[in-house]
Amino acid sequence: MARYDFASDNTAPAAPEAIAALAAANTGFASGYGTDPVTARAADLVRAMLDADAEVRFVASGTAANAISLAALCQPFEAVLAHEHAHICTDETGAPGFFGHGLGLVGLTGASGKIDPAALTGPLAAPDLSHRQSPAALSITNATEYGTVYAAEEVAALIQPVKAKGYGVHLDGARLANAAAAGFDLKAIRGLGVDILVVGGTKAGMPPTEAVVIFDRDIARRFDARLKQAGQLPSKGRFYAAPFIGMLEDGAIFRHAAHANAMAGKLAGLTPFKVRHPVEANAVFVEMDDERLAQLHRGGWFVYRFLDGSVRFMCSWATTEAAVEEMAEALRRLA
């Protein structure tokens, strides 16, 4: 039987704090479509985490959260700038363009998932032409697809020239808790110029749920109608919001993220294979040929070959030290 301990942080079970909060929300009757006290409490906790006065909505998936957010920032004839390996560019099946009625994506280069500030220069300086989709927004991912973490100063350096052009900014925080556990200051986000933020719940140890945080109040206007049209305004909205209460009230989300990061660090220290990217959050990428990867799969461990050709090992809140040591031993046998 295959083991998926390191395939993705999506393969882990939900954390007990999240499940307990779901159970607590499952009592009595409540108003629907996110107007209930559970959703209000969860939104307050998200605002407190960010030290920001913002609108907060809860949706079912990161793809929906990202795509709907980008659709709110761009016209259909415009484009979003993002790292060429960002999730919106490589893993969302055209959802930004679908929800954005045709909006485009422009991939930017940069080492280990971080956008190179120099890569912004050309797209931002290009003249508007009727034959192409000019940029109207920037999307940044933290932690990145390669498990690296932007410092607030790095994010500010990317946002400043974008804001100077009057464009919008989206922050994909599918693994924001891991970035925070690695030292990224969440309370700095509101002052960086981010217009709309996705706070990942699913990868952080919750059942399927993501929080969309809207800093720009102009975007918030009719946002619920946008969610309803996209099938992301659930009638029993409290069940999307409740896990955030369990994970935020006593900081469980950050304890779990710190554990996941630590397990990745432990695995990186034990693997005999060359580590390709800095291990700053909960991911380890190693150089491994096809035969050894096939042997690993035959041995019962499932992991992915990633976009840059490396093999990804992802740790989660539920990754145990014993599992890391078992994986390390399997890798030593392969090497």
Are 141 and 101 contacting, i.e. CB atoms less than 8 angstroms apart?
no
The pLDDT assigned to 297 comes to 97
How many residues are recorded in the chain? 335
Q: Which ranges of 31-151 would DSSP assign to H, the alpha helix?
A: 37-50, 62-73, 87-90, 95-99, 121-125
Are 207 and 14 contacting, i.e. CB atoms less than 8 angstroms apart?
yes
Give one DSSP letter per residue of 64-99, joined into a string. HHHHHHHHHH--TTEEEEEETTSHHHHSSTTHHHHH
Q: Does domain 16-248 have CATH number 3.40.640.10?
A: yes
Half-sphere CA count of 66, side-chain side, radius 13 A: 27
CA neighbor of 197 nearest in space, from 41, 322, 273, 179: 179
Query: Rounded CA gap, 13 and 247, in Å?
Result: 14
Helix (H) or strand (E) holding 311: strand 311-314
Query: Tokens 């959260």 appear where?
Result: 65
Are 136 and 123 contacting, i.e. CB atoms less than 8 angstroms apart?
no
Adjacent-strand bridge partners of 57: 212
Q: For the sheet containing 104-108, what is the strand order?
A: 55-59, 210-214, 196-200, 168-173, 134-141, 78-83, 104-108
Q: Which CATH superfamily is domain 252-334 in?
A: Aspartate Aminotransferase, domain 1 (3.90.1150.10)
Tens of pLDDT along the chain (335 residues) come to 789 999 999 999 999 999 999 999 999 999 999 999 999 999 999 999 999 999 999 999 999 999 999 999 999 999 999 999 999 999 999 999 999 999 999 999 999 999 999 999 999 999 999 999 999 999 999 999 999 999 999 999 999 999 999 999 999 999 999 999 999 999 999 999 999 999 999 999 999 999 999 999 999 999 999 999 999 999 999 999 999 999 999 999 999 999 999 999 999 999 999 999 999 999 999 999 999 999 999 999 999 999 999 999 999 999 999 999 999 999 999 99
User: What are the boundaries of each domain within the chain?
Assistant: 16-248, 252-334
CA neighbor of 115 nearest in space, from 150, 161, 153, 147: 150
Asked whether the domain spanning 252-334 has the same topology as the one spanning 16-248, the reply is no
Query: Tokens 């800095």 appear where?
Result: 278
- Who's near 263: CB < 8 A, 6+ residues apart? 282, 315, 319, 320, 321, 324
The pLDDT assigned to 1 comes to 79
